[in-house]
Amino acid sequence: MKKYVLDLRVSSVEALSDKHVLIKLTASQALPDMLPGQFVEVRVDNSPSTFLRRPISICFVDRDSNELWLLVAAIGDGTRQLARLNTGDMVNCVLPLGTSFSMPASADKKVLLIGGGVGVAPLLFWGKALKDMGCEATFILGARSAKDVLLLDEFNKYGRVCVTTEDGCMGERGFVTNHSVLVAEKFDQIGTCGPKPMMLSVARYAHEHQIMCEVSLENQMACGLGACLCCVEKTDEGNVCVCKEGPVMNINRLLWQL
């Protein structure tokens, strides 16, 4: 897909928790085509310690308002600076980058989307794409506590939402892989994004039940274009750059101990 370097204008910044913000960006022209699972390399201005762009998943593309949504967890200097953006600020982005989640062969397939923490970000756009093709997705959203469950109202628009919280304040108590829907139902396809231990547990479940599974890797990145080799992951075909051959990869390609 053709890549663009665009100056996007911040149309809103909404604090979703003490750590998470939803940033909506708009362009003077129609936003380019983007696929669920792809990401944006964001230039972080006004952060003297942030030299490189930061990779952020495409959370949603609203074609009606011509807005790109980014869900950001403020964990370091770069993301904290992004969380301080104001309406009207300009943000330079390279997009769209990387691979996307696979769409099922037909609308009757049961697709399960599992996200933990800020890893829920790319699943919203994928859920929308699934709904557009007539496929009602099931989401499992995992968080520490109720206040960390992100974009619940938005996810409810695109499928059935199951929640797990570690303290049991909302949904079922435990981790995403403890949710009862995994025992009660059989899925045809799984996609997941979140902390590596969570994705490993999901991949083990999928492997055990012989379900096609894709994970969205969050290896640290610099160039985002396959040039610096700082994001490599070992696969059955040797080392690959996650920014180009990922971030979405089938678990069968990875050398994880399943």
Ligand X SMILES: Cc1cc2nc3c(=O)[nH]c(=O)nc-3n(C[C@H](O)[C@H](O)[C@H](O)COP(=O)(O)OP(=O)(O)OC[C@H]3O[C@@H](n4cnc5c(N)ncnc54)[C@H](O)[C@@H]3O)c2cc1C
Give me the amino acid identity at 179: H
Q: Does residue 230 belong to the site contacting ligand FES (CB under 6 A)?
A: yes
Is 150 among the residues that bind ligand X (CB under 6 A)?
no
Interacting residues with ligand X between 89 and 128 (CB under 6 A): 118, 121
Long-range CB pairs of 164-171 (<8 Å, 24+ gap) are 164/140, 169/145, 170/143, 170/145, 170/146, 171/141
The kind and range of the H/E element at 91 are: strand 90-97
Rounded to a whole number of angstroms, the CA Rg of the chain reads 17
Q: Measured from the CB of residue 55, what is the shortest distance to ligand FES in angstroms?
A: 8
Report if residue 221 touches ligand X, rule: CB under 6 A: yes
Q: Which of 123, 162, 163, 243 binds ligand FES (CB under 6 A)?
A: 243
In the list 144, 227, 234, 239, the residue contacting ligand FES (rule: CB under 6 A) is 227
Q: Which of 5, 22, 25 is nearest to 14 (CA)?
A: 22
Q: Judge residue 188's burial from the number of C-beta atoms within 10 Å of its C-beta, 0-12 exposed, 13-18 middle, 19 or more buried.
A: middle
**Which stretch, 43-51, 108-116, 190-198, 226-234, contacts ligand FES (CB under 6 A)?**
226-234
* Contact track, ligand X, 24-63, x by CB under 6 A: ---------------x----------x---xxxx------
Rule CB under 6 A: is residue 43 a binding residue for ligand FES? no
Nearest by Cα to 2 from 31, 27, 22, 29: 31
Q: Which residue among 150, 221, 251, 254 contacts ligand FES (CB under 6 A)? A: 221
Binding partner of residue 227 among ligand X, ligand FES, none, CB cut-off 5 to 8 Å per kind: ligand FES
CB 213 within 8 A of CB 250: yes
Length of the chain equals 258
Q: Cβ–Cβ contacts within 10 Å for residue 25, how many? A: 26
Which of the listed partners (ligand FES, ligand X, none) does 223 bind, with a CB threshold of 5 to 8 Å by partner kind?
ligand FES
Least separation in angstroms between residue 244's CB and ligand FES is 7
Interaction between residue 228 and ligand FES (CB under 6 A): yes
218: which DSSP letter? Answer: -
Binding residues for ligand FES, rule: CB under 6 A, are 221-224, 226-231, 241, 243
Binding residues for ligand X, rule: CB under 6 A, are 39, 50, 54-57, 71-73, 75-79, 118, 121, 218-221, 247
